[in-house]
């Protein structure tokens, strides 16, 4: 079936897989890099600026994809990425090293991502059909998880000692993805004259999102999602820095078969691999179990397990316990992700689905903002304080999600639910 997908889809999955494998070996560990090269507070601020830049560019990039075409915007973004990777390569070479140049290149990569990602997502929809879409996204989901797992394993073992070589590979992959995007993808999207007449200004963009922001239940559900996703992004921010600082390097013996050196960075990569592997192996099983059951309580249970697992990661140095916590949060993830997506489909106003889903995509960026803030806050309140904060975010996620669902329901549905009918 994969060969039956449109060539654009196959090329995008290939390029995304290659980019994520090497990107996952570098980008999740940049919080540690900036903390060591500068300090924890500045590291949090720098990552927050990078997230904000990608967030704003993403808003505009989604609009530009309809004005100038998908492929043209994707190629522009890939060129910017290539320039940024060249800069990172030079700023981390044996001849010249600069954390600040690295940051500005990372900022440029964020801007490039804000241009590429909305256009690529729109292109996938353009060239897919209703019948092939579910299979397309399933393949893409597996590719993302597998590439992240492989990349994090590589980064955990080589980031600290071989950053220059990793960036060199990233640069080579960027050249390859630029070539594949510019030569293998065909632009099937035809820009309409009406869209072109709207121009490149901010007014039509703001008008589009102002309609969404008047929907209070949807905004409440969005805030709930940001609270939960803000917990997830702690892994590559506060938790990664804490593990690197608190886990002393030691030799580990695996069932007497072989031994290896384990430090905080390598432990982080193993924990992330365990989470990804669990998700990949058990997604189908949990999806079948959830089918036909009431979604709302399952979503809340998922929130709770997810938050509790991360709360343990925030303060504990007990290695077996950390892996158990990863299993707990992985179960929570498998429970809340599909149920929340299904409930979201019911909350969205179908007459403005495009604007709603575009705004919902920004939940990811706001979650990254909370993740970057976690480094700054964690530096003040410590691991136990962060654990309490994660539990608080779970309560916020449940509260705002429940508020959204109840406000969207009709009064008759609420009465029937309260009576147990």
Q: Other C-beta atoms within 10 Å of 1: how many?
A: 8
DSSP-based three-state secondary structure for 185: coil
Residues 58-106 have pLDDT tens digits of: 777 777 777 787 888 899 999 999 999 999 999 888 888 888 898 888 8
Q: How far apart are CA 102 and CA 112, in angstroms?
A: 15
Do residues 93 and 124 touch, judged by C-beta distance below 8 A?
no
Average pLDDT score over the chain: 81
- Tell me the pairing of strands 258-262 and 250-254: antiparallel
Q: What is the mean pLDDT of residues 361-382?
A: 84
Q: How far apart are CA 333 and CA 304, in angstroms?
A: 10
What percent of the chain shows pLDDT beyond 90? 20
Q: How far is CA 105 from the centre of its chain?
A: 20
Confidence of residue 133 (pLDDT cuts 50, 70, 90): low
Of 335, 320, 354, 321, nearest in space to 397 by CA: 335
Q: What is the mean pLDDT of residues 265-281?
A: 84
Q: How far is CA 108 from the centre of its chain?
A: 18
Confidence of residue 340 (pLDDT cuts 50, 70, 90): confident
Do residues 319 and 274 touch, judged by C-beta distance below 8 A?
no
Residues 180-217 have pLDDT tens digits of: 999 989 887 776 666 666 666 677 777 766 777 888 88
Of 323, 337, 328, nearest in space to 309 by CA: 328
What percent of the chain shows pLDDT beyond 70? 84
Q: Is 60 exposed, middle or buried (0-12, 13-18, 19+ CB in 10 A)?
A: middle
Q: How far apart are CA 305 and CA 27, in angstroms?
A: 27
Q: Is 248 exposed, middle or buried (0-12, 13-18, 19+ CB in 10 A)?
A: exposed
DSSP-based three-state secondary structure for 314: coil
Asked whether residue 321 carries a pLDDT value surpassing 60, the answer given is yes
274 backbone dihedrals φ, ψ, rounded to 5°: -60, -45
Q: How far apart are CA 53 and CA 255, in angstroms?
A: 47
DSSP state for residue 408 in the 8-state scheme: H
Q: How far apart are CA 296 and CA 300, in angstroms?
A: 6
Comparison of pLDDT for 125 and 402, the residue scoring more: 402
Separation in Å, CA 156 to CA 125, 204, 261, 273: 35, 44, 12, 10
Looking at the whole model, is its pTM more than 0.75? no
Residue the block writes with tokens 């998908």:
70
What is the pLDDT, as a whole number, of residue 131? 62
Do residues 166 and 21 touch, judged by C-beta distance below 8 A?
no
Structure tokens belonging to residue 284: 């189908």
Residues 33-58 have pLDDT tens digits of: 888 888 777 777 877 887 778 778 87
Do residues 233 and 370 touch, judged by C-beta distance below 8 A?
yes
What is the pLDDT, as a whole number, of residue 421? 45
Residues 375-401 have pLDDT tens digits of: 889 989 989 999 999 999 999 999 999
What is the pLDDT, as a whole number, of residue 411? 45
């Amino acid at each position: 079936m994969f060969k039956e997908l449109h060539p654009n889809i196959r090329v995008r999955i290939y390029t995304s897989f290659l980019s994520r494998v090497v990107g996952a070996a570098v980008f999740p560990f940049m919080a540690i890099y900036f903390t060591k090269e500068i300090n924890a507070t500045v590291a949090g601020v720098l990552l927050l600026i990078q997230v904000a830049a990608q967030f704003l560019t993403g808003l505009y990039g989604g609009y530009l994809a309809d004005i100038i075409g998908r492929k043209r915007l994707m190629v522009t973004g890939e060129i910017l990425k290539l320039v940024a990777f060249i800069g990172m390569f030079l700023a981390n070479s044996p001849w010249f090293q600069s954390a600040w140049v690295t940051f500005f290149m990372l900022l440029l990569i964020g801007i490039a991502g804000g241009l590429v990602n909305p256009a690529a997502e729109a292109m996938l929809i353009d060239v897919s059909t209703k019948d092939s879409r579910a299979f397309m996204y399933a393949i893409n989901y597996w590719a993302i998880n597998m590439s992240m797992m492989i990349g994090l394993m590589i980064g955990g073992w080589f980031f600290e000692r071989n950053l220059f070589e990793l960036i060199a590979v990233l640069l080579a992959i960027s050249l390859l993805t630029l070539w594949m995007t510019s030569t293998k993808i065909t632009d099937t999207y035809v820009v309409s004259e009406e869209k072109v007449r709207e121009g490149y200004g901010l007014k039509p963009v703001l008008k589009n999102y102002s309609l969404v922001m008047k929907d209070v239940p949807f905004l409440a559900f969005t805030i709930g999602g940001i609270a939960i996703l803000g917990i997830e992004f702690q892994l590559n921010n506060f938790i990664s820095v804490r593990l690197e600082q608190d886990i002393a390097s030691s030799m580990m013996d695996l069932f007497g078969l072989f031994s290896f050196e384990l430090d905080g960075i390598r432990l982080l990569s193993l924990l992330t691999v365990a989470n990804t592997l669990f998700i990949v192996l058990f997604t189908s099983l949990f999806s079948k179990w959830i089918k036909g059951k009431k979604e709302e309580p399952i979503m809340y249970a998922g929130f709770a397990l997810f938050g509790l697992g991360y709360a343990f990661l925030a303060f504990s140095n007990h290695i077996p316990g950390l892996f158990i916590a990863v299993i707990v949060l992985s179960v929570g993830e498998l429970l809340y992700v599909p149920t929340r997506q299904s409930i979201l489909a019911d909350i969205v106003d179908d007459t403005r689905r495009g604007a709603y889903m575009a705004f919902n995509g920004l939940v990811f960026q706001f979650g990254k903002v909370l993740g970057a803030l976690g480094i700054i806050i964690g530096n003040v309140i410590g691991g136990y304080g962060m654990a309490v904060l994660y539990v608080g975010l779970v309560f916020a996620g449940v509260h705002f999600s429940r508020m959204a669902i109840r406000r969207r329901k009709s009064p008759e549905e609420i009465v029937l639910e309260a009576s147990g009918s």
